[in-house]
Structure 1
């Protein structure tokens, strides 16, 4: 978005051309144009004013062609600002190169900064012109901007209002949800109840609500009814007036001064109207919890069985309802989607698809991703087409273009575009960025937020780290239904998500329009403006090589599907000097060009799953590098040059040697350089090999949040845990011993403050470990605990349950400290997942009142387990039970005592 481009440009201006930081250089170098920082400051002020103007006009931009043309020019000048600030930073970097100063300083240096000064002056004039046009446009369109509210604009875009009829074929695949909604409206529950229906645009939230609303209205189950389309820019006074008018039994008693009543009087009037009434109110398309809270006090609860149905795209809004009354809509399954399509498309032929069109029809339906709105729309488009295979094949092949241009798909574009337009400003770049990745790509949260940060999309908030802020962005996109949840971790944090296919296509159309980035399309038409590029096939790679990487403004290069090669990498380094992101994971590379250090602007280097064995010495010149991903490479030791990268925040450098975890050291880390390793900003170090030197060096990394240490011997424990005690922000710790028989000693782990929530210990430990200070004082903070290869003499569960009482996830695998495990009453009241695996366990007893919130029980590879766990039936919250490789007698008892019936409440049982 243009506004986002302006924000990025402003950020670079501030950091690159700050007057105070530049004054020092000016005093040393009189050859440098003296007005350089002041010109930049003026540009900064003008861009700031443009930014505020863009914020003010909001979505009106999309309904005004002249204003939209002005936006195009703003975006281009913002990109020019980004280019010139990077050029400036590049020359500053060269200035610090000794050989540059010595050999060509006197020839090149004045010319370089003169060119920058001239370019800045030109940009300054362009921005002055844009600012003048802005003032002219504001006068010219003053009436339009004042009178056309965002909500009016959205009304034009959206057809989601209050539908007056719902066709029968619109509810294909919704039968179970409709029945559940009917039960929730049952009058047996007399308390006023809030019901929410939520999910992404186009899933049928309004359709379902309308169907139920019309049914109940026809049955006259309630005393009064009202349907309110709330939308994004709601007016509470107007909503209150509409409620009063629609819910009043006697219209003649509606006050004549209703249109002029103030808020307090309107609230009192609505309370009077609803007094002793059983009412049904639908609040359709609610975007903000405040809308409901501002109405809630007026919606009286006289214990008559009243119901309020909310439809929303936002999980926070949906959570206004109790969890038991939240309905999340999901895309239709393949069969339901095809049935809905046939009902729409083939009404003239008994809703049956002709055999010669079935394969094409299914392909088209699959591209709709289960969205009823899209399926209905494309069905309507095809219903008027001839039933000729050639016509349908053309529409199938041009589906992306049809989605963007076909008038019959306006409703689909509108429904999905509104979600994007009303995303908070800080999320729009993050969302567009996701569209660059291949269809059905699974986004790892940790990786994605690091990419957002190095792209400059994340701004500091208070005392939070950029990673914490970005984590909030990630959550917001899921809460707004813009991304689909794929997997949670063991303590409830989102691990991965994906983007709906149709959502991705529309996001790509915005991305192309905004010159944001390219993915999966030809470079010929936009190569001069390409700033971000993802390649996923060899044809694109060959095209890039043939063109000699003629992409002078490229900032981000991502290679998917293992398509990058050494020739391409060499061209990237030599021709794209402003690269900030270079992601080459799984590419067939066994070495890195020596001149990679020329990429002064590089902030992210991704070499995961490549075959490289070493990093070139020039890496020390990557002074802006923040993330270095070397996971699953052949690098065994970090070069000493890495210690010079003072902005590094994340180092990933581990290898999985034994996926089946048969040996203690199934992971390997890298060795740290023997020299100083004081990376004060480092937050992630995964994984390091413990040596006498490295455990000492760890004390110079006070900002670590995630640390994995392999090959720890007892003799080094005191030094290691002394270093760890200084890490006040440590959140996730993995400690692996160097042998099975020597216990780890946690006695020196005595932090003054810690945020430790996740702990993994591989190997045995002293029997008194969980009585050590770190667990006695801070054990209540730990939510995740994994213990493997633990050959302890005594049962540690009593001390763990006492010192670490708030565990959500507990895993004990490959241990041999007990043949019988008894979980006592009161133990682990917050535990959601218990995983016992590869133990010589004979018996598991669960006392009444133990693990009362357990949802997942995994009993894997327990060949000595002869009996079904005692007390298993008492786990009322259990949702999943998985038992594998148990003793044959276990299954005999299971079937004999009909345990499947006893555990009828458990949704998933695998035996």
Structure 2
């Protein structure tokens, strides 16, 4: 983890620009720049050093990591305390606290000077090591084409393709679609990583299965299950967090009554879950099915002793090689010179699909015989020295990662087991953590996205859901790989999980002062008054990130003096009754996400401007029904902000007499804005020149300026717009206009006349268009101009009854979704002639739309067009509710 520590330190050094600090801490500008140069030389050393020799320099890496951590702690602590000293040193210079503060500052200065010398000595050793290995191995060079240090720009690979388990798929499909009318339980059993979830996912996602069942739902149970969450997931709408389990069971039972359903309960560790939820599933003798995956035979047997277990077996040697070759080369042939060593590698993976897929991720990045031979050797050595052969093999996937990806992989272990991780959140967290190396041609968000795609292509991260434009929306990690990331993360002093359970009394928790990141798990009803660091180090605290997992009404926040160096505070999963004042003393924060009751806070405090490093601010209301709160107009004094997400929060407008005040900034760095009731005045719009994503909702007529939407054209960098009117305004604008660079447009309540949709057609880069409830007005949509770049079109709950379109109007369309358009008579036959169309989905529309979709499907099949997949989900029967 030396690489991540050095990159973070380099960024911290660049942020120390105050002349007094530079002079006192480093001895001057020249010395400051020299230290930064030495840090980057160490970064380059790690990037270029060959992985096969890495064990020889592990002690040097650890020494480098520890020195970088300690030096960064001293620098940041000094900067923070010196700012505090300036505020407190008024008249009484002899104040005891000020004298103590001076002494502490002096200790940090001495610590920095000592560590600068230490870094210099480490660099000397690194240079000697590099020269020694260079003399005997010419492979140390920065431009190696086969090196794994470059990031891939390929699209995310397919995660669910089955190889070697075709018979398993056929057997499960037969049981799911069999003629037995009573409720059938189908347990799938096998060791971790053998492919149980992949098998179940292929059954669940099959088109025939989707059309066969009225209701389908997937629930991941995992080791830290919560029965209430499992039950709420089975409902169309979530209940209150405090709703009793018995009430939820009744609601689920009523919702499923007389409906044919398929449920997958994935990764079940406890038969207790089944004992508590089984009464929620009615048996109406209509062919409903429940698939359960588990690695424990006794759990599967306890679920239903009458149901035969489907036990998944390890792959044989031929199947193992087929899977490895397919994951590395796809449909291409493996070169003959690699086939022998490739088969050896596949055989040594011992038939476990997960290990084969992960090792394939290594082999893809370097397809040379020498590299493959080294991987085969490493696998043999790992198996010989480790009782858990599979875990040992998987460890190679981490050890062989390029340095810039190691911290990103370890970070996946922060999230709960089987958690669907929002890619946007993950990227923002990576950026705030500081371990991403900046690129001259890309911003850090783009670098992070590139790293995520690289991890996906290496089969270390799963894509669980894609965006409408094909990008990654949610991702995850296999639980076995998560165990690996947690173990290595603890060893690398990268993060630690802390779990606190229910207690009837408030309590004070002490945890050791070791790890850089803390992940706090709390059970429902837990209440922690405070967290304190055990006094293993009285000088500095290493904590940089605090992330809370689960929880409800919990009064838990860090003690400011001990957590003053926090960069990341993610409290979105816990519920605070009010917004704590202590937050605004955490001046090093770069990422802040909180959920609190808006009813206690009519306006977000102006003190937010104290957070001068804050780049991401996310707030949420746990209840959703309180009135929106207003962000102080001081937010316009925070030019460093990149992402501002105020769910049910608005921004106070700049007053007329303040419009040209120099204290109010143009927010050049702001990329994401999610607010309600945004004043769409020219003055506001022009202060957001580089905004890329805007989501805005108007809850009432009084906040919406009739012609304000037309001012959006001045957002020249805007790529994503989500616009919603909750109420019909008094006067609709005569014409709508949108920024020319839009790539994704979502409209709801906008009431655009269908005859004026040419305004949307004219957007040259538009790839995704979502026309949601009341977004358009009129019953007939006749398209006369093409959508030149549109790939994804959704129409939901709009009053469209006639749609006239030709296939050449959509030259790039790949996906068409029509949902709950109950007045639409049919899908135009010309839709089937769109050469690029891959998916046509009809959900809960009338019979005319369904029949026309089936005709399109039959016509395309008769023309041998198997690329078009038609999905039809009928309207639920009246007895469903």
TM-score (norm 1): 0.62
For 1:784 and 1:738, locate their aligned partners in 2 and report how far apart those are by CA, in whole Å: 19
> Aligned ranges for residues 448-847 of structure 1 at < 5 Å?
448-520=426-498, 527-537=512-522, 545=530, 547=532, 552-562=541-551, 565-566=554-555, 568-569=556-557, 571-608=558-595, 613-614=600-601, 615-633=604-622, 635-655=628-648, 670-675=650-655, 678-691=666-679, 696-711=683-698, 720-737=708-725, 739-740=727-728, 744-745=732-733, 747=735, 749=737, 751=739, 754-772=741-759, 775-776=761-762, 778-790=763-775, 792-793=777-778, 795-799=780-784, 802-818=785-801, 820-839=802-821, 840-847=823-830
2:19 alignment partner in structure 1? 22
Question: 1:597, 1:619 within 8 Å by CA — same for their partners in 2?
Answer: yes
Question: 1:838, 1:860 within 8 Å by CA — same for their partners in 2?
Answer: yes
Q: Secondary structure at the match of 2:722?
A: strand
Could you tell me how far 1:565 is from its partner in structure 2?
A: 2.8
Q: Paired residue for 2:839, among 825, 834, 856?
A: 856
Question: Residues 814, 488 of structure 1: CA spacing in aligned structure 2 closer, same or farther, 3 A cutoff?
Answer: same
Q: Secondary structure at the match of 2:777?
A: coil
Higher helix share: 1
Could you tell me how far 1:488 is from its partner in structure 2?
A: 0.9
Question: Residues 718, 179 of structure 1: CA spacing in aligned structure 2 closer, same or farther, 3 A cutoff?
Answer: closer
Question: Cα deviations across residues 640-693 of structure 1 (Å, max 9, x unaligned)?
Answer: 3333322111111225xxxxxxxxxxxxx534344467433211111221447x
**Matching of residue 69 in structure 1 with residue 49 in structure 2:** no
Question: Residues 495, 22 of structure 1: CA spacing in aligned structure 2 closer, same or farther, 3 A cutoff?
Answer: same
**Matching of residue 436 in structure 1 with residue 418 in structure 2:** no
Question: 1:589, 1:612 within 8 Å by CA — same for their partners in 2?
Answer: no
Question: 1:707, 1:733 within 8 Å by CA — same for their partners in 2?
Answer: yes
Question: 2:525, 2:554 within 8 Å by CA — same for their partners in 1?
Answer: no
Question: 2:679, 2:705 within 8 Å by CA — same for their partners in 1?
Answer: no
2:360 alignment partner in structure 1? 312
2:319 alignment partner in structure 1? 208
* Structure 2, unaligned runs of 5 or more: 142-161, 171-194, 199-312, 326-332, 347-357, 368-375, 501-507
Question: Residues 538, 283 of structure 1: CA spacing in aligned structure 2 closer, same or farther, 3 A cutoff?
Answer: closer
Question: 1:443, 1:497 within 8 Å by CA — same for their partners in 2?
Answer: yes
Higher relative CO (Cα under 8 Å, sequence separation at least 6) belongs to 2
Question: Residues 836, 119 of structure 1: CA spacing in aligned structure 2 closer, same or farther, 3 A cutoff?
Answer: same
Q: Secondary structure at the match of 1:586?
A: strand
Question: Cα deviations across residues 473-499 of structure 1 (Å, max 9, x unaligned)?
Answer: 211111111101111122211111111
Q: Secondary structure at the match of 2:871?
A: strand
For 2:59 and 2:509, locate their aligned partners in 1 and report how far apart those are by CA, in whole Å: 23
Question: Residues 758, 230 of structure 1: CA spacing in aligned structure 2 closer, same or farther, 3 A cutoff?
Answer: farther
**Matching of residue 446 in structure 1 with residue 424 in structure 2:** yes
2:354 alignment partner in structure 1? none
**Matching of residue 59 in structure 1 with residue 51 in structure 2:** yes
Question: Residues 724, 92 of structure 1: CA spacing in aligned structure 2 closer, same or farther, 3 A cutoff?
Answer: farther
Q: Secondary structure at the match of 2:630?
A: coil
For 2:531 and 2:620, locate their aligned partners in 1 and report how far apart those are by CA, in whole Å: 31
**Matching of residue 408 in structure 1 with residue 400 in structure 2:** no
For 1:71 and 1:90, locate their aligned partners in 2 and report how far apart those are by CA, in whole Å: 28
TM-score (norm 2): 0.64
For 2:547 and 2:805, locate their aligned partners in 1 and report how far apart those are by CA, in whole Å: 50
Question: Residues 61, 72 of structure 1: CA spacing in aligned structure 2 closer, same or farther, 3 A cutoff?
Answer: farther
Could you tell me how far 1:316 is from its partner in structure 2?
A: 7.4
Could you tell me how far 1:580 is from its partner in structure 2?
A: 0.6
Question: Cα deviations across residues 850-899 of structure 1 (Å, max 9, x unaligned)?
Answer: 444433333333347486115342344332412322899xxxxxxxxxxx
Which has the higher Rg, Structure 1 or Structure 2? 1
Q: CA RMSD in A?
A: 4.7
Question: Cα deviations across residues 116-147 of structure 1 (Å, max 9, x unaligned)?
Answer: 321112112322443454466668xx379836
For 1:573 and 1:458, locate their aligned partners in 2 and report how far apart those are by CA, in whole Å: 27
Question: Cα deviations across residues 73-95 of structure 1 (Å, max 9, x unaligned)?
Answer: 21111001211221233145437
Question: 1:651, 1:686 within 8 Å by CA — same for their partners in 2?
Answer: yes
For 2:872 and 2:713, locate their aligned partners in 1 and report how far apart those are by CA, in whole Å: 38
Question: Residues 205, 705 of structure 1: CA spacing in aligned structure 2 closer, same or farther, 3 A cutoff?
Answer: farther
Question: Residues 847, 42 of structure 1: CA spacing in aligned structure 2 closer, same or farther, 3 A cutoff?
Answer: closer
Question: 1:313, 1:481 within 8 Å by CA — same for their partners in 2?
Answer: yes
Question: Cα deviations across residues 203-256 of structure 1 (Å, max 9, x unaligned)?
Answer: 979853647999xxxxxxx9x96544679xxxxxxxxxxxxxxxxxxxxxxxxx
Q: How many residues end up aligned between the 2 structures? A: 653
Question: Residues 210, 628 of structure 1: CA spacing in aligned structure 2 closer, same or farther, 3 A cutoff?
Answer: closer
For 1:7 and 1:589, locate their aligned partners in 2 and report how far apart those are by CA, in whole Å: 34
